[in-house]
Amino acid sequence: MDIGALGVYVCLFAALYFEVFLLISFFENRPAKKTSSLPKHFPTVSIIVPFFNEEKTIARTVQSLLALDYPKDKLEIMMIDDGSTDSAGAIAQKLASEHSQITYLYKQNGGKYTALNLGIQASTAELVGCLDADSFTSTDALIEVVKRFEEDPTVMAIMPAMKVYRPRTMLERMQAVEYAFGVFYKKMFDNLSALNVLPGPFSLYKREVFTKIGLFHHAHNTEDMEIAFRMHKHGLKIVNAHNATVYTTVPTTVRALLKQRTRWSQGFLENLRDYKYMLLNPRYGNFGLLVLPFGLFAFFSGLYSAFYMSYIIVSTVITRTSDMYATQIPLHITAPHFDLFYVDTSMMMFTTLIVLGFTVVAIVLGNRIAEDKLNPFSFISYFALFGFIAPLWLAQAAWGAVRSQPAPWR
Amino acid sequence: MKDWRKYVLAFLITGAIFGTAFYITSRLDAGRIAEIRATQEAISVDLLSSETQFELLGNLDCSTIAEHPILTDELNSLAAQLAFTENRVGSDSSEVILLKKQYSLLEIKDYLLMQQISTKCGIKPVSILYFYSNKGDCADCSRAGDVLTYLRQTYPDLRVYSFDYNLDLSALQTLIALRKIKPELPAFVIGNITPIYGFKTLDEMQALIPELKDLATSTSQTSKAATTTQ
């Protein structure tokens, strides 16, 4: 066996180990079904909506917050305009004039984290949340989050279950499957007390989090990831409210998707570099022992496998072409002929299929947890596109991290 | 469950899954080897039967023999299966080496029988003895194999006998000694002429075998197949 193939086996073994580990966690602690019960106490909540040139989606985002099943006098919506140059600011001002729940604040453009910090400092609520201006909440999302806070008073921050808003194209459907997979592994990370991100769409914090560990940092344009790292550093508990659903719009072009994912992936690498002492450190539990090392391993194994496959394909094409040139055998097409004898039953094929099979199981479970429905076309889109696109953003992020160039957030 | 137990359990399950995959792969490879062996045994019986039939009939029934060429298709199919299995299992596998020895013996027997028929019946088969090495010391052997495979597909009546030069088989080594094949591979013996060494392109090879012009080609079938696949 050549060393290249051995490397792929190591990647496959690690991927399978990770999936098996998560499945054990799933069967050990299955996610609870949604109930119609209400919280005993309704704390005051401020939802910060930072925005910069989001004229297409800002109104819908705020409408979804206004439609939340929550006492109006307990819910404040803070629209923080980070120096928009389109009509988003005017839309926000109009909404603020129509609804007393809404506060509009303007600041010069300084990045998302500065807008969030302004909102946190301006609010006085017990719970502070954020909602990206391209996302929409389900009406019961806040109730579900508050119930989760009530269930466990030691919880300091909560992230919801995220779904793609009306996926239509192949690229959007690919992302819908990815998000379903995300619902599964985020819930499993919750079981392991090892959530690694508090995403922009509707993560909520107890106010004391910011008094204990400070406000958001620039954090390589991934402030939502860095604050999760910082909370683990200070032993503050993060959980997932899988019954709180948030819908998000996703990039509709490959170029936009690459930009977004490069930012996320590069942010992961750079935050990990800043918090490297957590890596494989049992003091930080499963976060340090499993989530961080496997995140890093997944990053590089994805890159390695893609390069290895590309190398095999390119070298085969070059060899075949040069052989044809050297032998002078004309290009000829032979009739397809199926013979069971020649079916690929190699170890590589089996283990790859097993890993893919486990991935499908995880996606289906994530879909079930989120009470969503993915159609077969979404799965086809995922398996047809993801393997080709993901290595591009991984490579771009690795290159960016090596050169330490911050990836733009817009 | 305590976390460390979960880490260990996940490792054991993953190991078991990989172990099972390895076991299934090995079983399937063993099945392939068994299939090749069964085919070889069938060919061996057929060859023996043909030899016996030839001995019994002498040269009285040359027309029957000429109409039923000996096992070319079966040997070609076996060669393809053997090459696939060698690639899957590895050329240093004792099972593969044994199969290759048996295959080489069948080829030699077929070649000798064809020569006898040729002498007695006046048939002039076009045959090539091809000697290769897959020890990594013959950079052109793969390309030479491609040329011969293409020729065999184009001219179904062309008889190509390929031999691993380094195979430790006394009958093969005797053939190598009789034909005075030097270890300068790839080497070809076309008809009964002296060995030719070194890689030959398709055109060069066709020029070396003028008898090919008299053989039927599969061009019409190939064209038809190519058309239907489109």
> What ipTM was predicted for this assembly?
0.84
Q: Scanning every residue of chain B, which has its alpha carbon at the shortest distance from the alpha carbon of A326?
A: B201
Q: Which of A203-207, A388-392, B39-43 has the lowest mean pLDDT?
A: B39-43
Residues B76-124: tens digit of each pLDDT: 788 888 888 888 888 888 888 998 998 899 899 888 888 887 887 777 7
Whole-number pLDDT of residue A43 = 97
What residue in B sits closest to A334 (Cα-Cα)? B226
Q: How far is CA B123 from CA B49, B116, B118, B126, B154, in A?
A: 20, 10, 5, 10, 21
Residue A215 has pLDDT above 60, yes or no: yes
Confidence of residue B226 (pLDDT cuts 50, 70, 90): very low
A258-272, B79-93, B141-155, B206-220: least confident range:
B206-220
What does the pLDDT average to over B208-228? 59
DSSP state of B137: -
From chain A residues 8-47, the ones with a CB under 8 A of any chain B CB are 13, 16-17, 20-21, 24-25, 28
pLDDT at residue B69, as a whole number? 52
* For residue A101, pLDDT beyond 80: yes
Q: Does B206 touch chain A (CB under 8 A)?
A: no
Is A407 a residue whose pLDDT tops 60? no
* Mean predicted lDDT score pLDDT of chain A: 93
pLDDT at A84: 95
Q: What are phi and psi of B223, to 5 degrees?
A: -60, -40
Determine the pLDDT at residue B143: 93
Tokens encoding A213 = 């560990």
- Pick from B2, B9, B14, B20 the residue to mutate for testing the A interface (most A CBs within 10 Å): B14
Average pLDDT for A152-175 = 96
pLDDT of residue A409: 52
Contact at CB, B32 and A326, closer than 8 angstroms: no
Q: Which two tokens stand for residue B88?
A: 């899957």
Question: What local confidence, expressed as pLDDT, does residue B225 receive?
Answer: 33
Region A264-293: mean pLDDT is 94
> A345 vs B24: CB contact, 8 Å cut-off?
yes
pLDDT of residue A170: 96
- Pairing outcome for strands A127-130 and A203-206: antiparallel
Beta strands in A253-386 (DSSP E): none
Question: What tokens does A352 get?
Answer: 């790859």
Q: What is the mean pLDDT of chain B?
A: 83
Which residues lie below 8 Å from residue B2, measured CB to CB, with a gap of 6+?
none
> Residue A303's pLDDT is what?
94
Q: Which of A326, A332, A354 sits opposite B21 (nearest CB)?
A: A354
Nearest chain A residue to B154 by CA: give it: A332
Contact assessment for residue A205 and residue A128, using Cβ atoms and an 8 Å cutoff:
yes
What band does A1 get if pLDDT is binned at 50, 70 and 90?
A: low
**Chain A within 8 Å of B21 (Cβ-Cβ)?**
yes
Note the pLDDT of residue B31: 92
Between chains, do B25 and A285 touch, taking CB under 8 Å as contact?
A: no
B67/chain A closest Cα distance in angstroms: 27
pLDDT tens per residue across span B130-152: 999 988 889 899 999 999 999 98
Sheet of B196-197: strand order equals B159-164, B127-132, B187-190, B196-197
Q: Which residues contact A255 (CB under 8 A, 6 or more apart)?
A: none
**Among A57, A353, A32, A1, which residue's Cα sits nearest to residue A200?**
A57
Determine the average pLDDT of the residues in A154-176: 96
Q: What is the pLDDT of residue A3?
A: 84
Best residue in A20, A283, A355 to probe B by mutation, most B CBs within 10 Å? Answer: A20
| Tokens, residue A33 | 């079904």
Find which of A11-15, A344-348, A368-372 is predicted with most confidence, using mean pLDDT: A11-15
Q: Are A283 and A378 in contact (CB under 8 A)?
A: no
Residue-wise pLDDT tens digits, A105-151: 999 999 999 999 999 999 999 999 999 999 999 999 999 999 999 99
pLDDT at A395: 95
Rounded mean pLDDT of A350-359? 95
A109 touches chain B (CB under 8 A): no
pLDDT at B223: 37
Q: Residue range B46-72: average pLDDT?
A: 66
